Amino acid sequence: MRLAVLDIGSNTINLVAASAEGGLPLPAHTWKAYTRLAERLGPDGTIAPGGRRRLVAVVAQAAEEIQRAGVDHLFAYATASVRDAPNRDRVLADVEDATGIRLGTLSGLEEAQLTFFAARRWLGWSAGPMLLLDIGGGTLEVAFGRDRLPDNALSLPLGAGRLTREFLRDGDPPPARAVRNLRKHVRDQVRRIAAHGSWESPRTAVAASKTFQQLARLTGSAPLHLGPFVTRELSRQALRPWIDRLAALPAAKRQRLPGVSAHRAGQILAGAIVGYEVMRGLGVPSLRICPWGLREGILLRRLETRHPELGNAAWTPWPPPFPRKAS
C-alpha cells in the first residue's frame, strides 16, 4: 500500500508518497510546485481571487501526480496561510469542487507535536531531552520533551513569510529602521516562549524546515545534495553576522548565496532574524538540522499508530469522488 501526504504551504505545495511497508517514510515519489500564496494575501490575510485560482490549478496538477504515483491513501492539508485566512472555507471549497481533494488544516500546536515526533524518530532516544524549532512561512513552532511527543509545545506568528510581509516589504533591501523594528518584535515574541510552561535545558536542540536548512548551508554546513545522513548544524555565533549581510543585499543577490533558493531569497532575512533571536532567547548555542519534518511526522504517525485523523484533516482513499463540479 502506498501513502501520500500533500502539504499546501505559503509558497509551495509538496507531495511525498511512501510505502506503508517497512515502518520508515522513505519517499518513493516526490513533487513540488510553487503556489506563492504569500504574495496573494490581503492586509488581513484574505486570499485574493488570483491566489484562489492559482491554488486550485496547482492542486489539480498535484492530483495528476498522485495518480501517477499509484497512491492508495492521501492526507491533504494546508498550513498557516490558508488556515488563518478569513476566507478559508471558501478557498477549501473551491479546491474540493474543482479537484475532489478535501484539504484539512492542522493547528500550530499539532504541527509542533508532529514535527517533534518526526525529529525524535530521526535522532532516536540517545538525543535525550530535546528542543525542537521549526520556522515555517506563517508560524514558528517550538517544542520540548523527553518522550515520543513533546511535554510542552507552542506556535507563534513568527513565520518568515508573514514577517517579511509585515515588516520588510518597503524596499529591497529593506530600510535599516524596518530591520530594527522586526528584531524588536521578534525579541518581544520570543519572551513569550519562556513564560509558556517549563523549558528545561535540552541535551539536544534540533531544527526542522527549509528555512533552517538554508541558514545552515549559508553558514557552512554540507550541501543538501550530499544526502540526509550527513550531520549538519547551525551555530548561533556563525549566524549572527549574516543578519547584517543579508539586510544589505537585495533579494536578487541573496539568491546567489550558498543554499538560498530564488523563491526564499526575499524572506531569508526574516528567517535569519527569527532563528538567531529564538536561539539567543532560549540560550541555544547550536542546532542539529533534522531532514525530517511535518510531512514525515504525519506519515510516521499513520505507520506506527494507524490513527487516521489529525486536526480536522484525515486519511482518505485515493482516488476521491472526483470533482463535484466540472473544472
Q: Which range marks the domain in which residue 13 is found?
A: 2-106+311-317
Amino acid at 75: F
Residue 303: pLDDT band with limits 50, 70, 90: confident
CB-CB contact of 117 with 303 (8 Å)? no
Q: Are residues 175 and 278 both part of a single domain?
A: yes
Greater confidence, 21 or 3? Answer: 3
* pLDDT of 93 above 70: yes
Q: Are residues 273 and 135 both part of a single domain?
A: yes
Q: Are residues 249 and 140 both part of a single domain?
A: yes
Q: Are residues 101 and 113 both part of a single domain?
A: no
| pTM summary value | 0.93
Residue 308: pLDDT band with limits 50, 70, 90: low
User: Would you say residue 57 lies in a domain?
Assistant: yes
Q: Are residues 143 and 182 both part of a single domain?
A: yes
Greater confidence, 322 or 290? Answer: 290
Alpha carbons 202 and 22: distance in angstroms, whole number: 31
Q: For the residues 64-73, what does the mean pLDDT come to?
A: 96
* pLDDT of 92 above 80: yes
Mean pLDDT across the chain, nearest whole number? 92
**Amino acid 41: pLDDT:** 87
**CA distance to 107, 109, 125, 239, 319, per residue, from 74 (Å):** 19, 22, 30, 38, 9
Residue 48 CB burial class (10 angstroms; 0-12, 13-18, ≥19): middle
